Structure 1
Amino acid sequence: MSLRLGEFYVAPTWPLFLLFCAAPVIGVATFFRFGLYRLVTRYIGAQGAPLIVIAVGLSALFWALVVLLSGVPGIPRSVVILYPIIGSALVWGSRQVAAWLLMSTGVELPGRSREKAKNVLIYGAGTTGVQLLEALRRAGQYRTIGFVDTSPTLWGQYIAGVKVFRPERMAALIEQKDVKEVLLAMPKANRRERQMAIRQLETLMVGVRTLPAIEDLAAGRVTVSDLRPVDAEDLLGRDPVPPNPDLLARNIKNKSVLVTGAGGSIGSELVRQILRNDPRRLVLLEAGEAQLYEIELEAHELLKARAIAKEQGAAAPPEIVAVLGSVLDGALVRRTLQANSVQTIFHAAAFKHVPIVEHNAVAGLRNNTFGTLCVAEAAQECGVERFVLISTDKAVRPTSIMGASKRLAEMVLQARAAEFNGGTVFTMVRFGNVLDSSGSVVRRFRRQIEAGGPVTVTHREVIRYFMSIPEAASLVIQAGAMATGGDVFVLEMGEPVKIDDLARSMIRLMGLEVRDAQHPDGDIAIEYIGLRDGEKLHEELLLGENTSRTEHPRILKNHEPRLSANDLAEVLASLRAAMETNDVETIHAVLLRAVEGYRPEVRHLSPKTRAEAAAEDVPARLVG
């Protein structure tokens, strides 16, 4: 108005003053709606010019309508024309000055450093993919080249200004556009579809990150921080069979439950799933103080979260009892069972690392075999209803002390179930490796790749079965509910995995190349170090052919040979005597006679024992 009249203007009346005050109010509201205030701090640069012109123009139009509808005279029409022109110039100029000042102080601006932005593709053009695109734009560090989707109806279309390509175009796009990463945005897809996408990306020499499954996404919109590297579970996991709620709750709901080894990988997941099934009391027995502290804290936090989610009047939360101690402490175990009226035991406490137990045979047998015996005896004396042992595929025709100790633990329960028919129901659940457990090969590979290699694989042909920790714990609970006494349940583990292939896949999916004879300039080498003490090339889950189906498609029931209670007592007495003097050779000789299919390394055996083993057709494994 001052420019129009050629002199400083002061509104002579209150109506005119209020109309002039309305202009900046309308302008602020319009700028906020168009995101110009976010543009000031995140996207200062030429790309904001059209947005500024549109926002100022609309605010001028809205203000002109207010002036017109108010009927207040005294505002020339030329003011309505000058306002958007001068306003756009001032807003644009102020941002350019701010950009110059920030640049002069060394602050790098996203809008002026587009050359440094990382080129990415988004695999999945659904709602989650669009949310991820918005998050990438807000971050300002990524340039989205396009979407990739398997739906033919989307090919060639534009979503939020970004083109959708068919998967077959990825290789060309990655090469032509220098794509550094492909971001998987397929949380609602089943695991098989995601694995197919990952396998396709594995050969393209590009980094891959993924959003978690939809049930694992935090509430709210997708953020860049939700992205994580592809891990072994993405490669090897499978869609779980929906659990049977009746089986899950049968031995837990309104009961007092004890988990031994509660701080371990399987024990801690058992604790989480047991809490979801409303026990009356949950007792955590753990020998490690730090592990016990962590799982007790997590249990209370889970209960607090459930209490917030539940409606008023819901059942009282279970009591959590943390007990620090060993399963070998018979007095402690009995006191714990009696004081807490325990009805169900999940026995997960064990030493599990094969090479360590191989070199510490006495400790391994004491904990795995005699610890199981101690808890089983206490369970019978205290009237526990059900005892479920967590076993391993390494117990089948074992070549290690660890495997033999777990097979003996199974035989302890088989003998007690046969001798004391009625009372405590003893059962065991056998399965293979679980993904990403403590000390797992997956964690080791990840650390080695991040450190620049080499990745160490024991043998080119070594094969293992894998299952996710949550699926294994769920199946253990359900199998235990089906037991009648002395049952050996075996979890259906799916297809075996070649560890060498797993290592190569993990390297490629981190955007790196395996360094070998064909690719001498690759990034990460694979080093073959030989089987560790006690390891086998191939693991098994069944001792015999006498296998039957159960009411769950992934739980099998196997009928296996056992020792009588008297014969087993003699074996355990011989083991105790040998363990007292740390007579490792005698320990192996006893295990050779007692454990079906046991094949220890030949270095453990004296010439006499080797001859006896050969005569009894129990061949020792020859290791150079």
Structure 2
Amino acid sequence: MLAKSNTRTALAMSHDAVAALLAWVFAYLLRFNFELPVHFLAELQHTVLWVVALQLAVFWRFGLYRGIWRYASLPDLRRIVLAVLLAAAIIPFVLWMLRSHLIVPRSVLILNPMLLILLMGGSRLFYRMWKETRGRAHLKLASEPVLVLGAGDAAVSLSKDLAKNPAWQLVGFLDDDANKQDCILNGVKVLGDLDSLEHWVEHFSIEQVIIAMPSSSHQQRQRAIKLCRAARVKALTVPSFDDLTSGKVGVSELRAIELDDLLGRDPVRLDKAGLQELLTDKTVMVTGAGGSIGSELCRQIAQFSPARLVLFEQSEFALYTLEQELEQTFPELKFVCIVGDVRDAARVAEVLQSYRPASVFHAAAYKHVPMMERNNAWQAIRNNVLGTWTVARAAQQHGVAKFVLISTDKAVNPTNVMGASKRLAELVCQALQSSATQADSLPHGNPLSNFPPQAGERANEKITSKLSTRFVMVRFGNVLGSTGSVIPKFRAQIAQGGPITVTHPDITRYFMSIPEAAQLVLQAGLMGQGGEIFVLDMGEPVKIVDLAKELIRLSGLTDDDIKIEFSGLRPGEKLYEELLADGEHTLPTPHPKLRIAQACQADAAWLERLLVWTAATAKPDVEVRLELTGWLPEYQPYSETDGTR
């Protein structure tokens, strides 16, 4: 390898020496119109050797022999120009220093660098073109023809990478912009619009198409995917616009079409200046940091360079996994990993006292509906309600400016314990917000005498008074690929050869991507002034059976390969979810994907009674469901005997 490098360097220097010689000679010849006087010929012979040697020394100093000619580019040409100009400036200086009697015409000193740049730069460019043309001709028969949908910046950048890839031969672009059609981009023609895909697929025998439209709307990308499906070609796509702009990946890092591409929506517009004020150089705490939403919140917050990120999580393994990821992805980020339970008031208070976060994002929750419905109902109440109270109250006491609760659409007209527990958590935050401007405290003595002392102490504590924490709640539906959701389950069933089990042929759910959900949570947290329930625009509900069919197709299989079976609704499961209760209305916000729900609220007296109720250490599931109807009139519990609500 070293010998090959030395040989290449020697050849390059020899070439430049000949180029320098020819440039010096032709500068004289051009000066005298190829009729060189005898005495100037003598001067040329006396100067040519040291001029060539001086120029080679300058070229070496500028590192012209470290590159490889077949990859010559504009930076290489820039170095050649600078090196030649410096050498051209040194030559008359040397002549003056030596007090030489030789007279070099000024026009020669001007013509020489021009000729030398042309010879050196031109030869390198010609060599690169020859190598690339030769390489393409050699690989053309073995390359697979490919079309690119889109003719924007991402598509042009991708075409440059494809030109270097021996596996693919880019045969054309397709774009709906009439101004771009018939144009030549990076040597490749824009053949027509997207609707002509099927024609060109047949014309070039295309098997794969690349969708390079990262900044287009979701509707446009979805149309491109449907056209690929109609043309029966495999579709690949460039990374998302957010990933490209963040620098995480390059445009050439292609991937297969995923469910997010079919069900996802347009990128979220964030108030980055406002979020910088909320997060940058501030300490931020995330509870449930190891979960799907919690971990994505940590990733999004990390991009705003907080002073410190406090990760509060019950699962040691989830916390360790997130720690390893953040250390690799955000090496400059200061963060601390805290193992703890949100119901442990002493632990929560210790963490808030130690790190004094300016904002707390409360994502810790039990969320699996069937699991919480059977044998775990009271644990869902204690974790989701009492845990929220514990963290929220501690946030008030330790001067946290913003407390953001992650809620769910299952809190609307709940039919299951998990949804009811999240609605109670919303009411807890609203009651705390209300109490911040009042001086309400719980009565002492008799009303709590029949309850454990611990409950009495907690309830008798003043919920008051000059506390400035603003409580914001964010309510949204299912997120694609979250832990415990149907999508990982369906993928596992497909991997095992099926069947896919769907509870009901008509069941629907709202979906959004995990990054979009986390971004909207941050935006809602920024916009909230205290007490609001923000409802995210979830788009249109999706039939779960259609979701299963899309996953089958994305796996390269058909409905005949993987069967779909219907197992019946599970305990606490609704056919459809709602984002607003019957008596709720929404108000618009400046953000198109966020609205504020006008929901009924709770006061401090209600909160006092709730804390007494949650003080019990255990309750049977039937009793929990029965008592929840008293706390939430809209709650319609699932009947295990007849499967009704």
TM-score under structure 1 normalisation?
0.69
Find out whether 1:197 has 2:248 as its counterpart.
no
Q: Give structure 2 stretches of 5+ with no counterpart.
A: 1-13, 20-64, 72-136, 438-465
Amino acid corresponding to residue 258 of structure 2 in structure 1:
D
**Structure 1 partner of 2:415:** 399
Amino acid corresponding to residue 148 of structure 2 in structure 1:
I
Q: Paired residue for 1:327, among 339, 342, 346?
A: 342
Task: Confirm or deny: 8 A CA contact 2:175 2:190 kept in the other structure.
Answer: no
Mark the CA change 1:145 to 1:262 in structure 2 (over 3 Å): closer, same or farther.
same
SS in 2 for 1:500: helix
Q: Paired residue for 1:410, among 417, 426, 439?
A: 426
**Structure 2 partner of 1:369:** 385
CA deviation map 1:195-228 (0-9, x unaligned): 221233233433221111344249699676x111
Q: 1:389 Cα shift? A: 0.9
Mark the CA change 1:344 to 1:203 in structure 2 (over 3 Å): closer, same or farther.
same
Amino acid corresponding to residue 620 of structure 2 in structure 1:
D
Mark the CA change 1:559 to 1:358 in structure 2 (over 3 Å): closer, same or farther.
same
Find out whether 1:562 has 2:607 as its counterpart.
no
CA deviation map 1:241-282 (0-9, x unaligned): 422235424543443322111122221222233333343332
CA distance in 1, matches of 2:233, 2:267: 29
Task: Confirm or deny: 8 A CA contact 1:123 1:183 kept in the other structure.
Answer: yes
Task: Confirm or deny: 8 A CA contact 1:232 1:442 kept in the other structure.
Answer: no
Q: 1:393 Cα shift? A: 0.7
Amino acid corresponding to residue 471 of structure 1 in structure 2:
E
Find out whether 1:122 has 2:148 as its counterpart.
yes
CA distance in 1, matches of 2:247, 2:622: 58
Q: Please report the RMSD computed on the Cα atoms of aligned residues, expressed in angstroms.
A: 3.9
Find out whether 1:621 has 2:644 as its counterpart.
yes
Amino acid corresponding to residue 347 of structure 1 in structure 2:
H
Q: Paired residue for 2:316, among 289, 292, 313?
A: 289
**Structure 1 partner of 2:565:** 527
SS in 2 for 1:336: helix
CA deviation map 1:341-388 (0-9, x unaligned): 233211111112222222222322221111112212322333333322
**Structure 1 partner of 2:448:** none
**Structure 2 partner of 1:245:** 272
CA deviation map 1:158-180 (0-9, x unaligned): 66466724433333444576533
Amino acid corresponding to residue 547 of structure 2 in structure 1:
L
Q: Paired residue for 1:542, among 580, 589, 602?
A: 580
Correspondences of 1:606-617 after superposition (within 5 Å): none
Q: 1:551 Cα shift? A: 3.4
CA distance in 1, matches of 2:408, 2:141: 53
Mark the CA change 1:22 to 1:299 in structure 2 (over 3 Å): closer, same or farther.
same
Task: Confirm or deny: 8 A CA contact 1:205 1:509 kept in the other structure.
Answer: no
Task: Confirm or deny: 8 A CA contact 1:584 1:604 kept in the other structure.
Answer: no
SS in 1 for 2:623: helix
CA distance in 1, matches of 2:249, 2:625: 59
CA distance in 2, matches of 1:417, 1:246: 26
**Structure 2 partner of 1:5:** none
Q: Paired residue for 1:229, among 239, 256, 262?
A: 256
Q: Paired residue for 2:514, among 469, 472, 480?
A: 469
Task: Confirm or deny: 8 A CA contact 1:351 1:368 kept in the other structure.
Answer: yes
**Structure 1 partner of 2:549:** 504
**Structure 2 partner of 1:343:** 358
Q: 1:572 Cα shift? A: 4.8
CA deviation map 1:7-36 (0-9, x unaligned): xxxxxxxxxxx99x989xxxxx9xx7569x
CA distance in 2, matches of 1:120, 1:154: 19
Amino acid corresponding to residue 585 of structure 1 in structure 2:
V
SS in 2 for 1:602: coil
Q: Paired residue for 2:435, among 407, 419, 429?
A: 419
Amino acid corresponding to residue 255 of structure 1 in structure 2:
K
Task: Confirm or deny: 8 A CA contact 1:125 1:164 kept in the other structure.
Answer: no
Find out whether 1:168 has 2:195 as its counterpart.
yes
Task: Confirm or deny: 8 A CA contact 2:408 2:476 kept in the other structure.
Answer: yes
Amino acid corresponding to residue 573 of structure 2 in structure 1:
E
SS in 2 for 1:532: coil
Find out whether 1:389 has 2:405 as its counterpart.
yes
Find out whether 1:602 has 2:639 as its counterpart.
yes
Mark the CA change 1:221 to 1:242 in structure 2 (over 3 Å): closer, same or farther.
closer
CA distance in 2, matches of 1:593, 1:454: 41
Equivalent pairs, count: 496
**Structure 1 partner of 2:292:** 265
Find out whether 1:591 has 2:628 as its counterpart.
yes
SS in 2 for 1:147: strand
Choose 536-545 or 414-423, whichever is displaced more: 414-423
Task: Confirm or deny: 8 A CA contact 1:286 1:292 kept in the other structure.
Answer: yes
**Structure 1 partner of 2:26:** none
Mark the CA change 1:228 to 1:400 in structure 2 (over 3 Å): closer, same or farther.
same
TM-score under structure 2 normalisation?
0.67
CA distance in 2, matches of 1:542, 1:290: 36
CA distance in 2, matches of 1:156, 1:191: 26
Choose 458-467 or 404-413, whichever is displaced more: 458-467
Mark the CA change 1:560 to 1:513 in structure 2 (over 3 Å): closer, same or farther.
same
SS in 1 for 2:580: coil
Q: 1:556 Cα shift? A: 1.7
Task: Confirm or deny: 8 A CA contact 2:361 2:405 kept in the other structure.
Answer: yes
CA distance in 2, matches of 1:136, 1:252: 40
SS in 2 for 1:257: strand
Q: 1:602 Cα shift? A: 0.9
CA distance in 1, matches of 2:508, 2:224: 24
Q: 1:287 Cα shift? A: 1.0
CA distance in 2, matches of 1:565, 1:453: 52
CA distance in 1, matches of 2:344, 2:367: 20
Mark the CA change 1:563 to 1:118 in structure 2 (over 3 Å): closer, same or farther.
same
**Structure 2 partner of 1:147:** 173
Task: Confirm or deny: 8 A CA contact 2:146 2:206 kept in the other structure.
Answer: yes
Amino acid corresponding to residue 348 of structure 2 in structure 1:
V
Question: Percent of aligned positions with the same letter in both sequences?
Answer: 43
